[in-house]
Amino acid sequence: MKDSEVLTEAIVEMEENKAMELTKQLLENGVNPMEVFEAYQKAMVEVGKRFEKGVYFIPELVMSGNMMNTAMEIIKPYLSEKETTDQKKKLGKILIATVEGDIHDIGKNIVATLLELNGFEVRDLGVDVPIDTIVSEAKDFGADIVGLSGLLTLAFDPMKDVVAKLEEAGLRDKVKVIIGGGQMDEQVCRYVGADAYVIDAVAGINFCKQWVGAN
Amino acid sequence: MTDTKEHLSSSQKQEAFLEKWASGEGIDFPDEKSKAAYQYRAGIMKDAIQLKKTPDRAPVVPLTTFAPVMLYGYSGKQAMYDPHILGKIALDFTTEYDVDAAGIAPMIMYGPALETLDYHLYRWPGHGVKEELSYQFVEKEYMKAEDYDHLIVDPSDYWFRVWLPRTHGALAPLAELPPMYGTMELPMAGPWLCTLGAPPIQQAYKALLEAGKQCFDWISALGPYLGRIMASGYPFYAGGATKAPFDLLGDSFRGTVQLMMDLYRRPEKVIAAMERLTPLMIGTGVAGAMANNNPLVFIPLHKGADGFMSNEQFEKFYWPSLKAVMMGLIEQGCVPCCFVEGGYNERLEYLAEMPKGQSIFIFDRTDMARARKILGGKSCIGGGFPISLIVTGTVRQVEDETKRLLDTAAGDGGYILSIGCAMDEAREDTLKAFIKTGQEYGKY
């Protein structure tokens, strides 16, 4: 097995210490940093697959995300300018926010991290974000997708208002809208006028990839 | 409960406690009609729980937080800052909507006391959340990874000198206190007592006493309304409340993301903490039930739901301590009432391990046909009605869905009609349709 494959396997199997040591070792031994980076990307794909199969869950998503973020800091100094630019090429732009009135952010943060690690450019507006801010930021950012998060039922109306305001601003046909949170269902999705609703992170990332033609 | 309770089996203790609660003993009913109404409602709850007898109909118990407040046109802030407004809403909602068990008031708490304590664990209406809305939890890493040993060795000391100072701003000076154990001998008592005299610590204790006084005045004002609710014929759906140890650690101490990584980074510490917290959570639930003379102990379940972890992880980290808490409650005559948030389709077989007719599971997004199939005849189930229909649906949709749900889940008893979440908001037409349809169509 190639060293980079051993690294991928260590990440996938959640062997954090081994993965971190191996990352440093490979880079110090002069292995191409892009190859190390790709080992992480491959691992993330496999973790996503296992999540979809119901083998992996939140612990593995946050562990692998955490490992990759730590590794990125280790890899960065080894990358050439061109590689850094290449690495920054993104699949698409996603604006993400917890809507007005709701201050919950755990789900949103997990999704934002995973989107970044999956190659999206993410602008995260935080929690309790006013409707007009979401719409103006979507325009300013040139978002391909707007992701709206909310745990509480009081998030339904602000979500609906965002969709209406996007329409008013003439942006609705340019952006996809996805909603996520514990009480989202088909009924809420229709009420809000969103393109999709999700109740888990990986399903959300898959919709986004599909929309930008990356699947 | 009698003096002979030590000699009773857990099911006998539970029967005695439920019987006492359902009889309405100690409640000052204005007339026989109110007493009979109370006994009817508590009686169908008791029948639904115990699975010994088919009740007259499925009890209708929508759980609420701020929904009644909003329905009567008040703001969340008014409810949290004026016990008379809260009391009147609780009384009016219970009687007008005619639910089979009441519960809103204890869910709300008193805003001024939280201000006195500079409470960080929640933001509430007028205090970080808009005045008209509901309170919301602020999850953070209040407990650091390196704190596990302190928590495990001495949870109360950790709670008092580390966790309270981090979560209650006014109690921050308590972090400077030495452990109280020096009080065992005169020469060693000095450090503790001397530190207690330091001005910041004195301030912290004053804040704590002030918050206590505020809450005492609040409950003294609210109490008569709660008494009137019961006297009007409505039992409360919970006497006490507690948590699954894993949720306690994940919600209020480590935070979700940190705890989920702990499962890989320090699994043995997580398990040791769960075991240590188990008797504490039993004691908390039992104390509430005894104080309120109501055996039902509410346990909201959060982080063991489908999607949060694998069955293997659930079996290792979540279920053993939850089951131990439930069994501990049952052994003392209480009825654990788990409010199973999210989906539990993958976990139903674990819940089926509980002894027959001694627990309640109110579901949120679990497939109710499967819940009935696996838990039917074993434990009382409830819930399953989507809140989205109450908030955004039509009366017709709500009526149809209520009937469909009763057909699916009510069986020949052992079902409580409820909505899948504690409602922050609702609509009058849809909520009344839900309750009315439930009362009519839910007859056995």
Instruction: Give yes or no for residue B1 having a pLDDT over 50.
Output: no
Looking at CA atoms only, how far is residue A60 from chain B in angstroms? 8
- Cβ atoms of A213 and A176 within 8 Å: the answer is no
A73 CB-contact burial (10 Å; exposed 0-12 / middle 13-18 / buried 19+): exposed
B138 touches chain A (CB under 8 A): yes
User: Do B388 and A187 count as a contact with CB atoms less than 8 A apart?
Assistant: yes
Q: Which of A55, A101, A188 sits opposite B392 (nearest CB)?
A: A188
The ipTM is 0.91
Please give the share of chain B, as a percent, with pLDDT higher than 90: 94
List, in order of start, the domains of chain A with CATH numbers: 3-87 (1.10.1240.10), 93-211 (3.40.50.280)
Kindly report, residue by residue over B376-413, the tens digit of the pLDDT. 999 999 999 999 999 999 999 999 999 999 999 999 99
Report the pLDDT value the prediction gives residue B214, as an integer from 0 to 100: 98
Least confident of B177-181, B259-263, B278-282, B433-437: B177-181
User: Do A154 and B133 count as a contact with CB atoms less than 8 A apart?
Assistant: yes
Per-residue confidence at B277, pLDDT binned at 50, 70, 90?
A: very high
Distance, CA of A25 to CA of A41 (rounded, Å): 18
Q: pTM score, two decimals?
A: 0.94
Q: Which of B260, B309, B391 sits opposite A156 (nearest CB)?
A: B391
Instruction: Give yes or no for residue A67 having a pLDDT over 80.
Output: yes
Q: What is the mean pLDDT of residues B42-71?
A: 96
Q: How many residues does chain B have?
A: 444
Q: What is the mean pLDDT of residues B2-24?
A: 84
Q: What is the mean pLDDT of residues A98-124?
A: 93
Report the pLDDT value the prediction gives residue B7, as an integer from 0 to 100: 74
Report the pLDDT value the prediction gives residue A79, as an integer from 0 to 100: 87
Helix axes A33-52, A58-75, angle to 10 degrees: 170
Per-residue confidence at A81, pLDDT binned at 50, 70, 90?
A: confident
Compute the count of residue pairs across chains A and B with CB atoms less than 8 Å apart: 85
A212 touches chain B (CB under 8 A): no
Report the pLDDT value the prediction gives residue B344, as an integer from 0 to 100: 97
- Cβ atoms of A180 and A148 within 8 Å: the answer is yes
Report the pLDDT value the prediction gives residue B6, as an integer from 0 to 100: 62
B308: chain A residues, CB-CB within 8 Å: 57-58
Report the pLDDT value the prediction gives residue B5, as an integer from 0 to 100: 53
Instruction: Give yes or no for residue B77 having a pLDDT over 50.
Output: yes
Q: How far is CA B395 from CA B338, B352, B401, B433, B442, in A?
A: 29, 35, 10, 6, 17
Structure tokens at B261: 């990584």
Written out in words, the top-level CATH class of the domain with range B3-63+237-441 is alpha beta
B130: chain A residues, CB-CB within 8 Å: 101
User: Do B257 and A109 count as a contact with CB atoms less than 8 A apart?
Assistant: yes
Kindly report, residue by residue over B327-348, the tens digit of the pLDDT. 999 999 999 999 999 999 999 9
Per-residue confidence at B2, pLDDT binned at 50, 70, 90?
A: very low
Q: Which of B130, B261, B386 sits opposite A63 (nearest CB)?
A: B261
Report the pLDDT value the prediction gives residue A117, as an integer from 0 to 100: 86
Nearest CA in chain A to B317: A59
Kindly report, residue by residue over B141-161, the tens digit of the pLDDT. 999 999 999 999 999 999 999
Instruction: Give yes or no for residue B255 having a pLDDT over 50.
Output: yes
Half-sphere exposure in the Cβ direction for B406 (13 Å, CA)? 21
B342 touches chain A (CB under 8 A): yes
A182 touches chain B (CB under 8 A): yes
**What's chain B's average pLDDT?**
95
Kindly report, residue by residue over A131-177, the tens digit of the pLDDT. 999 999 999 999 999 999 999 999 999 999 999 999 999 999 999 99
A104 touches chain B (CB under 8 A): yes
Residues in Cβ contact with B50 at an 8 Å cutoff, skipping those fewer than 6 apart: B15, B18, B357, B358, B380
Q: What is the mean pLDDT of residues B69-85?
A: 97
User: Do A58 and B123 count as a contact with CB atoms less than 8 A apart?
Assistant: no
Half-sphere exposure in the Cβ direction for A74 (13 Å, CA)? 20
A62 touches chain B (CB under 8 A): yes
Kindly report, residue by residue over B305-317, the tens digit of the pLDDT. 999 999 999 999 9
B260: chain A residues, CB-CB within 8 Å: 58-59, 62-63
Looking at CA atoms only, how far is residue B393 from chain A in angstroms? 8
